[in-house]
Structure 1
Amino acid sequence: MASQALLVLSFLPLVHLLVPLASAASIQDLLRANGLPPGLLPRSVESFSLDPSTGLLEVRLDYPCYARFDSLVFFDRVVRGNLSYGSLHGVVGVAQEELFLWLPVREIVVTDPSSGVIFFDIGVAHKQLSLSLFEYPPKCQPGKQSKPVPAIGEGFRSRQEKGLEEER
Structure 2
Amino acid sequence: MAFTIIFFQPTFLLILLLVPLHVTDAYSSIQELLLNHGLPAGLFPESVKSYNLDKRGVLEVKLDSPCIAKYETRVFFETVVKANLSFGQLKGLEGLSQEELFLWLPVKDIIVNDPLSGLILIDIGVAYKQLSLSLFEDPPVCRSQGFSIKMGGRKSIGFQDQR
Residue 61 of structure 1: aligned partner: 63
2:157 to 142, 158, 162: 162
List aligned pairs for 1:107-122, cutoff 5 A. 107-122=109-124
Residue 14 of structure 1: aligned partner: none
- CA offsets per residue over residues 100-158 of structure 1, 9 Å max, x none? 0100000000000000000000000000000000000000001232x4427xxxxxx65
Shift of 1:159: 4.4
**Runs of 5+ unmatched residues, structure 1:** 1-16, 151-156
The letter for the 2-side match of 1:24 is Y
- Give secondary structure in 2 for the equivalent of 1:36: coil
Shift of 1:61: 0.3
**Runs of 5+ unmatched residues, structure 2:** 1-21
Q: Give the Cα–Cα distance (whole angstroms) in 1 for the partners of residues 132 and 103 of structure 2.
A: 22
Distance change in 2, residues 1:159/1:71 (3 Å): farther
- Give secondary structure in 2 for the equivalent of 1:39: helix
Q: Give the Cα–Cα distance (whole angstroms) in 2 for the partners of residues 62 and 73 of structure 1.
A: 16
Residue 46 of structure 1: aligned partner: 49
- CA offsets per residue over residues 11-66 of structure 1, 9 Å max, x none? xxxxxx94xx33310000000000000000000000000111x2110000011000
Contact 2:67/2:142 (<8 A) preserved: yes
Percentage of matched positions with identical amino acids: 52
Residue 74 of structure 1: aligned partner: 76
Q: Which entry has the higher C-alpha Rg, 1 or 2? A: 2
The letter for the 1-side match of 2:35 is R
TM-score computed with the length of structure 2 as normaliser: 0.80
More helix by share: 1
Aligned length: 141
TM-score computed with the length of structure 1 as normaliser: 0.78
CA RMSD of aligned residues (A): 1.9
